[in-house]
Copies of this chain bind each other. A is one copy, B any other.
């Protein structure tokens, strides 16, 4: 694990860096679901003590990415269809609220920002830059939370995001994409926000994050099926 930066203002706690590192391993499926990991081993591997590792484990278990069995062992969580579907629903619900509130609070400046993001997405799509498109998609949703002034919403979304990110990663690496639909959906959301129509913004987000459709796409991926436990809750 990298040494702490010299500038204390930019210093990020070790437990945070350990958390992010482990999260990457889990999301990228470098650590497969069900894998047993121990505080001690991870601490040694990262060159830190068990305290920050332990705190990272606790946080990851609260995010549903790990499971801690006291006095027994810690494991990478299994992926279940039910959990993925629930996470999709919850994220949609939160993002709908964010979109509605953004429509209420948006300024002229915010509109420019959103339109620029959509334009960049069009450019990234035409350039075939998949990673850039994905990053801009995240920025778009993040921008909405900032416009709506709902910082807690991002915290909550982050809490449930892990479950779907693991399966999403598989699909991205396989090359599936629906850039056109995504861009159209974002345009509809921006239009509703421009009109200050909270209900329309919420509805547009609802359509954008349609659980049933997204879920169907996910479970069709053979890679996903391989990893997901068939019918666990």
Contact = CB atoms under 8 A, between A and B. Distances in A.
Contact of A90 (B62, B153, B233): B153
A220 interface: no
Interface string A143-158: 0000001111101100
Contacts of A114: none
Interface string A195-233: 000000000000000000000000000000000000001
Interface of A is mostly: helix
Interface of A: 11, 13, 15, 51, 55, 58-59, 62, 64, 70, 82-83, 86-87, 89-90, 92-94, 96-97, 101, 149-153, 155-156, 159-160, 233
23 contacts: A13-B70, A51-B51, A58-B58, A59-B62, A62-B62, A62-B155, A64-B152, A82-B149, A86-B149, A86-B150, A89-B97, A89-B101, A89-B150, A90-B94, A90-B97, A90-B150, A90-B153, A93-B94, A93-B96, A149-B233, A155-B159, A156-B160, A159-B159
